[in-house]
Structure 1
Amino acid sequence: MDTALILIPDFLLILFGFALRRSGWLAPAFWAEAEKFVYFVLFPPLLFRALARAQLDLAASLPMLAAGLLFTASAFVLGSAAKPLFRLPQPSFAAGNQGAYRFNTYVGFAVMGSLAGEPGIATIALLCGSMVPVVNVMAVGQLAHGSERGMLYELLRNPIIWGISSGLAANLGGLHVPAPLFAAIDHLAAAALPLGLITVGAGLRFAALRRHAGPLLYWNAIKLLLLPAIAVLATGLLGVSGLYRQAALVMSMLPTATSAYILAVRMQGDGELAAAVVTTSTLAAMVTMPLMLALLL
């Protein structure tokens, strides 16, 4: 199957979530609780399942991790030029600049699962797990003007870090998970991606699109067009190949994480702009990701 076609079911779920929320059939309060449930209850078991029994070669993954750090840092620096370019106040800049470098793990895991199955999820989990602290330090640092307490709080409560660290510990420590318990974890993990994609669609918001058209276009161009090109250069320079290259390239072309909006609101940033970045990035990725997959993989 053409790799680009793999994205169709994932984006259909996102659109379904958008339509379901706009229908008003479920109360607005449901969606905030649903997103929290997926993020804190379902997502850690998905990561644990992928890593606990994976055949891991951490040494071989180091060039992939270095490439991820290189293109993520590049996006952060390029995105930061938006502040003087568009004369943005700090709360708006810090909230919106997340659109240049944050990545939607739900979409990434769904795509890698379709491309390469459980080994694909385990590989991109290693990459995402390494980059999550990096992007959180970047985001919280700009939103909180360097508040170390804020950074530590966000990192410690991040369920991606919980799931990945527990899965790695089980794998490297040779922990035997009883079959009934692992089956229960498997059931939770199976629900994470479809429900996660639906909540991504439900979270799409359009309030600030016209007000910030310039910076939105700028950040999305970096995230969805320039970043994959940088990732190609970085993986080539560092000799990343096979499944590791595939995971790095998929991560580089992902839309912005919905957590960018949540973090901006929690830290008194411009929540409307962060929501607009997530929305435009997600919708634009429905066009750019199939093209990038077809061209680069």
Structure 2
Amino acid sequence: MTLTEIFLQTLETTLPVFAMVFIGLGLRRVGWIDGAFINTASALVFRATLPTLVFLSIIRADLDTAFNPGLLVFYLLATLGSFALVWLWAHWRVAREDRGVYVQGAFRGNCGIVGLALAANLYGDFGLSAGGILLGLVIISYNMLSVVVLVAYQPGQRMDWRRIFHDILRNPLIIAVLAAIPVAALNITLPGWVMTSGDYFASLTLPLALLCIGATVSLGAIRSDSTTALGSSLFKMVILPLLCTASAWLAGFQGPELGLMFLFFASPTAAASFVMVKALGGNDRLAANIIALTTLLASLTVTFGVFILRSAGLA
């Protein structure tokens, strides 16, 4: 296969995902969707359709292939290493009041929507099932580390570990993963009509979620404050995906597993980071800028990264 053919194949994988993001941006600008729609649709995706998609993907998966403890351990170590590296950099180069927001924006990716959508396009059922299992680890680690770094720089705030643990246990995606694994392991077969109805419902997830991501991007916010946001965004979209993916390759990961980890490492900053910053009284404008910048950059960096991995025969 020539480089041109590989590049066109890569575009077929990544462009549908980012096209939906930009369509969402356009629909919001012309007024066809509004804040109320975004809030309702995002809640529907988070609470119902995405957990359904993850559940169905896992129960259809070959757990011997999709469940890889080595991949989970490596991803956790890479996340902790990324978190420590960015925090160390921020300690020397970022104003104290913005450090927590900077660090969270640089390591917390939108794996549940963008990462999973790209994995599904690139690897089909394996991408969804293995990505769904990995997503359980991502939710736990990202939430805990985000609270740690944000509270560290917000006067008067303290870590309520009991509440964090409670929120994680109530997370619909965590519940979906925990419910699906025993069903898959025991080879329990659900009625055909249940699976078909579930597929209809789950199929709403990715287009609806990607439209909402695009609709929340504010180009005006990007123009208002760029230096600190750009630094965090470059960490998120260029430096950390490069370092983590190279480390995964050196550790022996190849093929779909390496590609899956790259897509999760290279996902733009999660929209949930803005909600957490606002709740803790941080610089929510900076958080919004980082989300917007990384979302726009992702269409270039993810496409280029997948192209490089495919050209080298690694993913």
**Which residue matches 2:32?**
25
Matched, 1:50 2:63: no
Matched, 1:87 2:100: no
How do 1:123-272 residues align onto structure 2 when only pairs under 5 Å count? Answer: 123-144=130-151, 145-206=158-219, 208-210=221-223, 212-272=225-285
Give how far 1:102 is off: 1.3
In terms of mean alpha carbon deviation, does 233-242 or 99-108 score higher?
A: 233-242
Alpha-carbon distance between aligned partners in 2 of 1:41 and 1:200, rounded to the nearest angstrom: 17
**Which residue matches 1:64?**
71
Alpha-carbon distance between aligned partners in 2 of 1:59 and 1:114, rounded to the nearest angstrom: 16
- Equivalent residue letter for 1:98: Q
In terms of mean alpha carbon deviation, does 20-29 or 102-111 score higher?
A: 20-29
In terms of mean alpha carbon deviation, does 17-26 or 133-142 score higher?
A: 17-26
Give how far 1:214 is off: 2.4
Give how far 1:207 is off: 5.3
Contact 2:109-2:270 within 8 A present in 1 as well? yes
> Deviations for 1:10-69, whole angstroms, at most 9, x for unmatched residues?
111101111111222334222111111111111100100110120012797122122212
- Equivalent residue letter for 2:104: Q
Give how far 1:258 is off: 1.2
Describe the shift of the 1:27–1:250 C-alpha distance in structure 2 as closer, same or farther (beyond 3 A). closer
> Deviations for 1:93-150, whole angstroms, at most 9, x for unmatched residues?
3233222111212111111111111112111222222222011100122234432134
Matched, 1:116 2:119: no
Matched, 1:96 2:102: yes
Alpha-carbon distance between aligned partners in 2 of 1:229 and 1:72, rounded to the nearest angstrom: 13
Matched, 1:283 2:283: no
Alpha-carbon distance between aligned partners in 2 of 1:44 and 1:291, rounded to the nearest angstrom: 30
In terms of mean alpha carbon deviation, does 70-79 or 39-48 score higher?
A: 70-79
In terms of mean alpha carbon deviation, does 244-253 or 79-88 score higher?
A: 79-88
Alpha-carbon distance between aligned partners in 1 of 2:66 and 2:29, rounded to the nearest angstrom: 47
> Deviations for 1:186-223, whole angstroms, at most 9, x for unmatched residues?
11111101111001101112455355422212211211
Describe the shift of the 1:240–1:12 C-alpha distance in structure 2 as closer, same or farther (beyond 3 A). same
Alpha-carbon distance between aligned partners in 2 of 1:26 and 1:219, rounded to the nearest angstrom: 29
Alpha-carbon distance between aligned partners in 1 of 2:176 and 2:239, rounded to the nearest angstrom: 30
Contact 2:67-2:133 within 8 A present in 1 as well? no
Describe the shift of the 1:110–1:73 C-alpha distance in structure 2 as closer, same or farther (beyond 3 A). same
Q: Secondary structure at the match of 2:63?
A: coil
Contact 2:259-2:306 within 8 A present in 1 as well? no
In terms of mean alpha carbon deviation, does 68-77 or 47-56 score higher?
A: 68-77
Q: Secondary structure at the match of 2:203?
A: helix
Q: Secondary structure at the match of 1:57?
A: helix
Alpha-carbon distance between aligned partners in 2 of 1:221 and 1:26, rounded to the nearest angstrom: 30
Alpha-carbon distance between aligned partners in 2 of 1:150 and 1:215, rounded to the nearest angstrom: 31
Alpha-carbon distance between aligned partners in 1 of 2:195 and 2:91, rounded to the nearest angstrom: 48
Contact 2:66-2:130 within 8 A present in 1 as well? no
Alpha-carbon distance between aligned partners in 1 of 2:46 and 2:260, rounded to the nearest angstrom: 21
Stretches of structure 2 lacking an aligned partner (at least 5 in a row): 1-7, 152-157, 311-315
Q: Secondary structure at the match of 2:268?
A: coil
| TM-score, length basis structure 2 | 0.86
Q: Secondary structure at the match of 1:177?
A: coil
Q: Secondary structure at the match of 2:96?
A: coil
Q: Secondary structure at the match of 1:240?
A: coil
Alpha-carbon distance between aligned partners in 2 of 1:163 and 1:134, rounded to the nearest angstrom: 17
Give how far 1:288 is off: 0.9
Alpha-carbon distance between aligned partners in 1 of 2:66 and 2:10, rounded to the nearest angstrom: 28
Describe the shift of the 1:141–1:204 C-alpha distance in structure 2 as closer, same or farther (beyond 3 A). same
**Which residue matches 1:274?**
287
In terms of mean alpha carbon deviation, does 281-290 or 4-13 score higher?
A: 4-13
Describe the shift of the 1:239–1:26 C-alpha distance in structure 2 as closer, same or farther (beyond 3 A). closer
Give how far 1:286 is off: 1.1
Stretches of structure 1 lacking an aligned partner (at least 5 in a row): none
